[in-house]
Amino acid sequence: MGKGITKRSVDYSAWYNELVKKADLAENSAVRGCMVIKPHGYAIWENMQAVLDKKFKETGHYNAYFPIFIPKSYFSKEASHVEGFAKECAVVTHYRLKNDPNGEGVIVDPDAKLEEELIVRPTSETLIWDSYKKWIQSYRDLPILLNQWANVVRWEMRTRLFLRTAEFLWQEGHTAHATQKEAEEEALQMMHVYADFVENYMAVPVLRGVKTESERFAGALETYCIEALMQDGKALQAGTSHFLGQNFAKAFDVKFADKSGKLDYVWGTSWGVSTRLMGALIMAHSDDEGLVLPPKLAPTQVVIIPIFRSEEELVAISKVADVVVKELRTKDITVKFDKRDTHKPGWKFAEYEQKGIPVRIAIGPRDLESNQVEVARRDTKEKNTYSMNELSSTIAELLETIQTDMFKKASQFRADKTTIVNSYDEFKSVLEEKGGFIYAHWDGTSETEEQIKNETKATIRLIPLEGNKEGGKCIITGNPSTGRVIFAKAY
Amino acid sequence: MGKGITKRSVDYSAWYNELVKKADLAENSAVRGCMVIKPHGYAIWENMQAVLDKKFKETGHYNAYFPIFIPKSYFSKEASHVEGFAKECAVVTHYRLKNDPNGEGVIVDPDAKLEEELIVRPTSETLIWDSYKKWIQSYRDLPILLNQWANVVRWEMRTRLFLRTAEFLWQEGHTAHATQKEAEEEALQMMHVYADFVENYMAVPVLRGVKTESERFAGALETYCIEALMQDGKALQAGTSHFLGQNFAKAFDVKFADKSGKLDYVWGTSWGVSTRLMGALIMAHSDDEGLVLPPKLAPTQVVIIPIFRSEEELVAISKVADVVVKELRTKDITVKFDKRDTHKPGWKFAEYEQKGIPVRIAIGPRDLESNQVEVARRDTKEKNTYSMNELSSTIAELLETIQTDMFKKASQFRADKTTIVNSYDEFKSVLEEKGGFIYAHWDGTSETEEQIKNETKATIRLIPLEGNKEGGKCIITGNPSTGRVIFAKAY
């Protein structure tokens, strides 16, 4: 602690990597590409999980758990899934170790080779639809609205903590419906659930829309997504929700009898968010001093630090602090009174600043006399002196203000970094000089999309769901466009 | 639904397997030995997790997350760990699939072979102590009190849903301490946390003690455990807590400087419970009709079933039922009003009986007139008619009574199935005819323990922590014993 972090303006990427470590969120493990999520990072993820899990249950979903392994042959069952999905997976080929006959630890037992290799799940559509085949016979069995919290593995070559790791934690929803309309509504609903969460809890504004065909999930007919903007002007996909049509039902032969007894394939959706959200949270708000957390997701919302020189002073301060702690807790505010004598107040200030604790209260001997305390906001670094009377109400309001202000600030940032362009030259210069979201006309072809991507590294982040429906001409081909789409460089 | 389950008295094992399926708790997947935990089963597990997680946090622990993969070489670092631990593991050898050149789906890409194989974690001591080496320098860094909720894989040859599966869900606590005393106290504390949970929430009485040397966790100096008794007279190990001494610290070179600057190895513990607890819960309480759940862990505590012949009757009943639902929810009772018209009341009765819902309320048109309802207890199948006035208080009390009664019944069963024996003949006949826990004198040697195991299949479940300390003579060798130990056949 105490040592600084590279400034964002100097090297954004180094800033991020150092911050993740300094704020004690995560670190790389001995296994390439797999991270260790440390207690502070995991506590934030737990808070995210709690909110999302509640929202899923409120919208009628149940949790379940499906195996971590998927038989290799399952991947080939849905043609576009196997074609489109990355083949970088962890493959289990053996099921036993044995002592090395040369006494050098353990070796893989060659006699214990699996007949069919197992893949550590990169996503679970195939295995789950295989189960749904057993569970679904009639319309009475529908809808099935399931979610699972799980770890998944995609063997990424270049990894970054939270943003892209070989193993990551996520939730994956998998639903089955009797009608196309119901499945489409489900996919759309979950996109909005994600958007509400990211905006109202993470305090990060998002754009909502659909992916172009080439950016769709392998096996989906439509991919709804939310996109957030990071402080370096790059976009980050924060969640996706897929309308799968009858693709997986056909691949796994999942049919149901409707009320009249007629058989039809089941309609499906899948949707997920992952520990990648941690990366979005960090990059949207944090500053050169460290992490900045929105109060609604902070594991500790308030820290109280005593300023003392003697044991008597600490005793006197503790008496007051203990009352404050108690009052804050009755308001469901999480608070920590850090009275360790192994570290100086300045060290503690820096530590909690790096860790993003939203509010810091410092109490010294003079504060006891004046019946006031100094309260510092992490987000703006403003300090104010507040009366001890009704301090808990003041703090409760302050936390709400911080939550709102963080969202406002991120929204203003996004507004400043959003540009409407009408030519490819303008597109390229905005992308180069300003970054952010660029609204531009596109002719709707994959070729044009691909050309722009190859030439500028910008991709179509989404086609907006509403608004921006005025016609125009594609910035590349001049062919007609029915509405602007949103481009950005992305994580 | 509706079809019966094999009676316990006819075939206990078939009863268990059928019950798990009929109660919709779990089923086998396409992957050998890996189960699908269905929503009803997972909801019970979630309730278990919530209680345990709270207890862990109250005792100062934090959650974290470590990778699912462990480099093969790590297993050899702690000698007794690699020797003692089963070598049936899932081994990842490759990291990529590719399209079969013959067009037959996908094959493992031979060019994507890992330099060092990765093992899907069977337990995480090795990887976590490798991290602790980086995290611990001085006494100021201690204690570290971490837990993780995770999936683990042990390639079991014969599997049974919940009781023994290749993949299972669990929590594993891993703590690091400056002193032997503190680590020992931690290990003991967590055994008591487990025992309190199993007794007060699962309503299953447990014995507490330590394992014999041969039954200890590989790498531990002492294994504390809790043992529960199932209805077929077999014991089930419900949780273990290991005092690891300095073994893993030595294997991974984890030293700390004490206040005087002197270096010493760190002391460790690890402790865990798993989805195996689901098996214990099922087998301790359930009957020939299906699952019996203790109210404190039931996902739905009360179900209300309307008895109606017309839409008007349903409307009238719903009006009353909605009030009851609301009142019960204000008392934090989980309640479901099942007014589906696709199933008859009798079908619903059977369904909720099989699923173990503790209390069933039936409301018919005549009940509305008499201002009374019929309330059925799942555990005893008693039915009573209660006034609608203050029904929620009556139900709240009833749920408490059921929780207490289930524990009493299981305790009485255990008492009836606990026998003190003084000779090997007596031992064998009790084991054969009655089963259960057998208290007997043992000379303390692994040879005697092994002989009894080979001849009778009974193992020493634990050496009690207190009581039973009167001396005696070993039932096999006649050599002196310092106190009876507890034998049983076990899952």
**Mean model confidence pLDDT for chain B:** 95
Confidence (pLDDT) at A127: 95
Determine the distance in angstroms separating the CA of A416 from the nearest CA of chain B, rounded to an integer: 38
Q: Report whether pLDDT(B2) > 70.
A: no
Average pLDDT score over residue span A199-224: 96
Write out chain B residues lying below 8 Å of A76, CB-based: 104-106
Determine the distance in angstroms separating the CA of A445 from the nearest CA of chain B, rounded to an integer: 27
Q: Report whether pLDDT(B12) > 80.
A: yes
pLDDT band at A314 (very low <50, low <70, confident <90, very high): very high
Confidence (pLDDT) at A82: 74
**Residue of A24, A75, A92, A252 best to disrupt the B interface, most CBs of B under 10 A:** A92
> Could you say which of A30, A140, A150 has the minimum Cβ distance to residue B342?
A140
Among the listed residues A56, A96, A89, A59, the one whose alpha carbon sits nearest the alpha carbon of residue A74 = A89
Q: What is the pLDDT of residues B15-64, one digit of tens each?
A: 999 999 999 999 999 999 999 999 999 999 999 999 999 999 999 999 99
- Contact at CB, B88 and A66, closer than 8 angstroms: no
Q: What is the pLDDT of residues B234-276, one digit of tens each?
A: 999 999 999 999 999 999 999 999 999 999 999 999 999 999 9
Determine the distance in angstroms separating the CA of B31 from the nearest CA of chain A, rounded to an integer: 7
Contact between A343 and A350 (Cβ < 8 Å)? no
Confidence (pLDDT) at B104: 78
Domain ranges of chain A: 24-285, 297-399, 418-488
Which residue of chain A is at minimal alpha-carbon distance from B24?
Answer: A135
- Contact at CB, B67 and A38, closer than 8 angstroms: no
pLDDT band at A2 (very low <50, low <70, confident <90, very high): very low
**Residue of A91, A145, A148 best to disrupt the B interface, most CBs of B under 10 A:** A91
Q: What is the pLDDT of residues B150-181, one digit of tens each?
A: 999 999 889 999 999 999 999 999 999 999 99
Q: Report whether pLDDT(B1) > 70.
A: no
Confidence (pLDDT) at A470: 84
Write out chain A residues lying below 8 Å of B156, CB-based: none
Q: Which residue has the higher pLDDT, A288 or A105?
A: A288
Q: Report whether pLDDT(B467) > 70.
A: no
Class for domain B12-69+121-285, per CATH?
alpha beta
Q: What is the pLDDT of residues B95-109, one digit of tens each?
A: 999 988 887 788 999
Determine the distance in angstroms separating the CA of B105 from the nearest CA of chain A, rounded to an integer: 5
Q: What is the pLDDT of residues B119-131, one digit of tens each?
A: 999 999 999 999 9
**Residue of B28, B49, B119, B120 best to disrupt the A interface, most CBs of A under 10 A:** B120
- Judge if B12-69+121-285 and B418-488 fold alike in CATH terms: no
CATH domain A418-488 topology: Translation Initiation Factor IF3 (3.30.110)
pLDDT band at B78 (very low <50, low <70, confident <90, very high): confident
Confidence (pLDDT) at A108: 94
Which residue of chain A is at minimal alpha-carbon distance from B78?
Answer: A105
- Contact at CB, A87 and B93, closer than 8 angstroms: no
Determine the distance in angstroms separating the CA of A372 from the nearest CA of chain B, rounded to an integer: 31
Class for domain A297-399, per CATH?
alpha beta
Confidence (pLDDT) at B468: 63
- Write the CATH number of the domain with boundaries A24-285: 3.30.930.10
Of all residues in chain A, the percent with pLDDT exceeding 70 is 99
Class for domain B300-398, per CATH?
alpha beta
Which residue of chain A is at minimal alpha-carbon distance from B168?
Answer: A67
**Mean model confidence pLDDT for chain A:** 95
> Could you say which of A29, A65, A134 has the minimum Cβ distance to residue B67?
A29
Average pLDDT score over residue span A309-323: 96
- Contact at CB, A93 and B91, closer than 8 angstroms: yes
ipTM for the predicted complex = 0.96
Q: Report whether pLDDT(A61) > 70.
A: yes
Average pLDDT score over residue span B216-233: 96
Of all residues in chain B, the percent with pLDDT exceeding 70 is 99
Confidence (pLDDT) at A468: 63
Write out chain B residues lying below 8 Å of A342, CB-based: 140
- Contact at CB, B91 and A97, closer than 8 angstroms: yes
pTM: 0.96
- Contact at CB, B120 and A68, closer than 8 angstroms: yes
> Could you say which of B74, B108, B134 has the minimum Cβ distance to residue A93?
B108
Confidence (pLDDT) at B3: 64
Q: Report whether pLDDT(A193) > 70.
A: yes
Q: What is the pLDDT of residues A296-307, one digit of tens each?
A: 999 999 999 999
